[in-house]
Amino acid sequence: MSDEVFAQQKFNCPSCGAEATWDPAKQSLVCGYCGTIAPMQPPDSPTTGIEHDLVAALGAIGDDQRGWDTTRASVKCQSCQAITVFEPTRAAQRCDFCGSAAIIPVEEQMRPIRPESLLEFKLAETDVREAIRAWYGARWFAPNKLGTRALTDTVHGIYIPYWTFDSQVSADWSAMSGDYYYEDESYIDSNGNRQTRSERKIRWYPSSGHLDHFFDDEHVPATRGVEIELLNKIEPFPTTTDLKPYDPGFLSGWTVEQYQIDLIAAAQHARQTMETKTQQLCSQQVPGDTHRDLEVNADFSQQTFKHVLVPVWLLAYTYGSQSYQVVVNGYTGAIAGRYPKSWIKIVLLVLAILSVVATLLLLAGSLRSKPDTQPDQTPSRILDLNFTH
């Protein structure tokens, strides 16, 4: 394919249908509209790899499965790139995720894929405030001011988008299994005497087997607004057991973050997790007391994915020039966050530690100088070791 032909071709975003352009830095097609990052599909090559299957599947999702099934307004944050979807009666002034005022309206003409299902909010705002206050209270290094701020700061309840991947795996494995046995061995001890002791040995033999397993709901977050590291800390969201079918009623009065997908990353992430788990499951099947050289040949089939929403309470605040997030799982109440550290408290702690060390040194010195100390060597030897290094 010549460059000329390439330049003339238009590529559509598999997620929303808007025009996507080639991004040399990301080596993929990036949708300027919804931010989806997708691998380029060479027009004449058969689909290869999970991400291409996904591109095809996303593109095939019809108009009846798009949109929110209710009127919503959307804004995109120019700072953190999150797209926030809310009721048109509410006027958004700032980004819910980072507090930036640089938000621009997003038109609804490109319609996102409607979620199949969601987890509803279970935690009320009052419980969340209480939880955040207690959480601050347990952060020793947080400036005292923060604890009182938790009462006045705005907390937002937001549905966060996730992709979940299902797949059947069929794997053949082979390994070297090892059984332990013990043999007496003689050796010369420090006094020059011959002694015997029991030595553990391993008898190796080849083994092989087969694993069939269904992966249900491997999660990949599709949020731009919430820090992934924090989100991981408040997981799991019980999507395998508690999901409710999507109904616009659940969204009434609530804000939603619209997904933006890095398809390559999402698909690869899900596949990696499944491969690691397949390896572990096979490893559990290997007979013997131990094993080595495990080789797994896995075949993934019936791969499907879903778009789901999960509830998160979010407190975004700035302290000094930095912005911080505290996130609460709106279903289970798990909490995680970042907070500024008070230098005064850290200095005080360092001083306290130094004074304890100084006291110990003095104590050790006075013990050693006591003339009538019994020749019990052990404690002072430990102290000597500590202080000579």
| Footprint on this chain of Zn ion (rule: CB under 5 A) | 13, 15-16, 18, 31, 33-34, 36, 77, 79-80, 95, 97-98, 100
Residue 71 CB, nearest approach to Zn ion (Å): 21
Residue 82 CB, nearest approach to Zn ion (Å): 5
Residue 48 CB, nearest approach to Zn ion (Å): 22
- Complex with Zn ion: residue 15 or 329, whichever CB lies closer: 15
- Complex with Zn ion: residue 33 or 305, whichever CB lies closer: 33
- Complex with Zn ion: residue 98 or 298, whichever CB lies closer: 98
Contact indicator for 27, 38 with CB cutoff of 8 Å: no
Residue 330 CB, nearest approach to Zn ion (Å): 20
- Complex with Zn ion: residue 66 or 233, whichever CB lies closer: 66
Residue type, 158: I
- Complex with Zn ion: residue 78 or 232, whichever CB lies closer: 78
Of 115, 38, 118, 111, nearest to 74 (Cα)? Answer: 111
Residue 32 CB, nearest approach to Zn ion (Å): 8
Cα–Cα distance list, 249 to 120, 162, 253, 307, 379 (Å): 10, 19, 9, 18, 70
Residue 277 CB, nearest approach to Zn ion (Å): 31
- Complex with Zn ion: residue 76 or 218, whichever CB lies closer: 76
- Please state at what angle helix 125-137 crosses helix 144-152, rounded to 10 degrees: 180
